[in-house]
Structure 1
């Protein structure tokens, strides 16, 4: 694994750049005195103490022995699992906080808001407005994607055409997106393989599309029965800034999904799809259905992948698959 990829993996688990540099120095020099790690990591004594304390707290490094300062990395399994759980808890807290703020806004202030800032689009006007939004993008589209889906013919083709124009697309898919029958094969994989930057979370707080820095399309609630019938168009204001911040925070915590051009070691497409579904939290029945195989065959494939990655369980397999660039 390159230093850049290891540093990115540690960042996703909540460790800062200084701690990542100290961890790399540990892997190269330890066991060694703690004082030797500062020059190797480019840190002064105070920065080194803070960064190393973060590694100890995360369960990735040993505390200096009493009367000496010899240090070394420790087996990371327990520490990595704790870090992963902490990150998941932070994302959930952020989702609840921002989602609650938006719901409060919707209930208390939407009716009184200036029509120039928030527009309500309903019924048959929604489809053309969505297509116009994608066509109007100049630099970037950011999206939370999850069922239920608006019945919009040609949506995948529109996304591919937008990518072909050079517009960056960053999409966070929910687990339900990967589980939705046919969605992974028909709508997600084609755009990811065409260059879309995709990540996945167990759930997303709202159905959302942000067009450049210009405006956002928001379903009133992902759970409401009229999700296909009511949509907000949010112009630049505090609410748009909050939605952008929610997306960016979720993006940094989500698990990357890569297309077919990034398969190291000739990973078969079926195994890559299996890992995507597993990382997204899909259960065994859903994974077997999407792959068109029996549960028995699924278990055999999981055992082969775990052996190939040197993993003792599914959590370790997902972590190792990410490190190897398989996700």
Structure 2
């Protein structure tokens, strides 16, 4: 008789062998261990061992015959007893589980806040981030991925790490199309920070002294919130992620590269006309094409032609690069609206962009 699969008897505490022997026994009025072993396809010794276990559970009974024979107890009573016992055990286990759940819930609030925090308020993120950088003493590891924001919307207000703190940053190359990322990277490397470039970064990330980390709550929507991680195990995993990205990224020194490019261009860049310089000066202040056109009394299309001509002469691909390289060439002049950087007393702190919320 085969009424079930080998694994189904585990629900009432029977092993595979015991269940197989019981299945054969219930279909016979009485049977010897040898007959059952042949029917179940196992050895006599295994059958006798299974029969003794079934007897302990009141599922099988020995007869007084010689040689010894076995009969099955009425299953509705014997199996029903085991089922009732198992239901009682499960009920006690469920009650204990509820007590454990309650104890966990009572402690999960402070435990979660200690290990991982979720911040959604922009000002709170900026304040906590600034504080972590201010208190850093060893190193800051940084994965910079667009979009970039600052604490107060002004690059001059960016938080900074103190002198003597090691800063290693990996920037996603696509992010250098905006002014904030390039200015920050230039100032960071100028003060001794190490910079590398990667075509793609898995997430924004800042790790401070290997004791706390900040990253977006959602990679696909980085503005929905910021996680502050304090768990040593999680921070260690994020450090490993950074080191993996760092090893695969391309080393770069923007200051040296720009100086070399400027020297090369100084011998071959053709100066542009006065009107193009006027367009570039206004563009460098952040004016849009329509505004520049109104100020100079020309069409928007003419503005774009001047910008395109300057880009071709400088070998620049973006508007910010055009303004930066035009400044190096002296095309914007000191009397332009582009502010000159003010001298900063030593030591100069290294700025780092605030992670998006």
TM range (shorter): 0.3 to 0.5
Q: Which has the higher helix share?
A: 1
TM-score, normalization by structure 2: 0.41
TM-score, normalization by structure 1: 0.44
